[in-house]
Amino acid sequence: MQTNFTLAQLADPDIAEADGILRKCVHCGFCTATCPTYVLLGDELDSPRGRIYLIKGMLEDGRPATKKVVTHIDRCLSCLACVTTCPSGVDYMHLVDHARAYIEKTYRRPWLDRRLRDVLARVLPSPRLFRLALIGALALKPFARLLPGRLGAMAGLAPGRIPGASRVDTPQVFPAAGARRKRVALLSGCAQQVLAPEINEATVRVLTRLGCEVVVAQGIGCCGALVHHMGRTEAAHAAAKANIAAWCAEIDGAGLDAIVINASGCGTTVKDYGHMLRGDAAWAERAAAVSALAKDVSEVLAGLDIASHASDAPRPVVAYHDACSLQHGQRVTAEPRRVLRAAGFELREVAEGHLCCGSAGTYNLMQPVLAQGLRERKVANLQSTGAAVVAAGNIGCITQLAGAAGMPVVHTVELVDWATGGPRPRALAAEELIE
Ligand code: SF4
Ligand code: SF4
């Protein structure tokens, strides 16, 4: 694609990067077929190619973002299916990240929109505030269908119960069972530890059982993904730096073989810390070191001996749901399947597995109509597998699909933990799953 930035514009390293990305696009349109919003809406401006044109025009123009551009960029899920599909290697992820930051700086959203985004940016990364907000949402849940738009979506997504805080999420070291094979740090996260503390508990159990010493580092918190995808660069960088400082203290101390992340939306962001802070001389090197160590929990489990710990007990058939951040953001697709099979589960593939379930961070709150359309499509594909359980590697997908799928939706690591000696996952407790 031809671009027309001035030399003065290209002196800005972010514009220079965007220029390089834009120039790689050859307008072929292959990406449109796998873009969930184009599949649903059929509008070129809601396809990757259309958005790339809008971003190009916005950045070349250099003036504040327009309502039209904001509308179509806001509808993008950042699912990155287009990145997987693109034969020219267009780095849409960093292009749309830059576009969102530009919009945040130059566009004044309607009052209600601004307040809602402020609240989400403040509440979701804080486990204490998020737990309080969920208590309020739980009270509204019975009336979710009667509430308008985003309010109804928020109430509808509230879990049926709000678990207490787990002791695994406080800074500490969990020793390996038997000989130590690895020393890893766990990102205890923010929203996930409130919605489903059993995921971190299962992660610690299974990793220690398989020979890992697990550390929850002092000072660890939200990865910054939520605010990063809102274009709030300063807040995202602050969150990243806090985590980098916490993990570097461990790297410099007892050392780390990996940083384990069990929410793939967070994993994609931590793996990108090196890029996010590339222009910050004080942090760039440490950020790159942290990104190099970051691994999805399935990548770490795939290198451990699951099979010899797995019992012979019968297991339910599992439909494995590929979270977009894992399959497109991190290109991790084989490892979750490998670890589930090593744990003794029979897997069923899900049709249209490349399409997003509509969760996408705060997307299901901000764009409830599109998110619901994608959820219904995903649920139909999951149900047609005939599986008894859905496994996924991202809390956003689990929350989006639980309750709608008509079968339990659990984290991959909960199933591996169960199969290797841990408790039956709570979501499966009351189910008769094995024929
Ligand atoms: S990130 Fe997803 S929704 Fe956005 S343009 Fe790419 S495929 Fe479409
Ligand atoms: S597939 Fe890649 S090169 Fe083709 S239009 Fe989409 S982004 Fe551009």
In short, whether 35's Cβ falls inside 6 Å of ligand 1 is: yes
> Are the beta carbons of 301 and 262 closer than 8 angstroms?
no
pTM of the full predicted structure? 0.94
Nearest-atom number in ligand 2 for the CA of 26 is 3
Mention every residue, 6+ apart, whose C-beta is less than 8 A from residue 221: 125, 190, 239, 242, 243
Mutate to test the pocket of ligand 1, among 78, 85, 325, 356 (most ligand atoms within 8 A of CB): 78
Question: What is the per-residue pLDDT across 124-147, written as a single tens digit (0 to 9) for each?
Answer: 999 999 999 888 877 777 766 666
Q: Rounded to whole angstroms, how far apart are CA atoms 355 and 35?
A: 7
Contacts of 134 (CB under 8 A, 6+ apart): 158, 159, 162, 194, 195
Report whether 385 contacts 408 (CB < 8 A).
no
* Burial (0-12, 13-18, 19+ Cβ within 10 Å), 433: middle
Kindly tell me if the per-residue pLDDT of 339 is higher than 60: yes
Question: Which amino acid type is present at position 398?
Answer: I
31 lines ligand 2 (CB under 6 A): yes
Index of the ligand 1 atom closest to the CA of residue 93: 1
Please state, in angstroms and rounded to a whole number, the distance separating the CA atoms of residues 431 and 68.
47
User: Does any ligand 2 atom lie closer than 6 A to the CB of residue 307?
Assistant: no
Contacts of residue 271, Cβ cutoff 8 Å, sequence gap at least 6: 291, 294, 329, 330
- In angstroms, rounded to a whole number, what is the distance separating the alpha carbons of residues 77 and 89? 19
**Ligand 2 pocket mutation pick from 32, 90, 95, 96 by most atoms within 8 angstroms of CB:** 90
Which of 2, 37, 49 for a ligand 2 pocket mutation test, highest count of atoms within 8 Å of Cβ? 49
For ligand 2, the distance from its centroid to the CA atom of residue 197, given in whole angstroms, is: 40
Longest pairwise C-alpha distance within the chain: 67
pLDDT (0 to 100) of residue 286: 98
pLDDT in tens, 376-421: 999 999 999 999 999 999 999 999 999 898 999 999 999 999 999 9
- pLDDT tens digits for range 10-30: 999 999 999 999 999 999 999
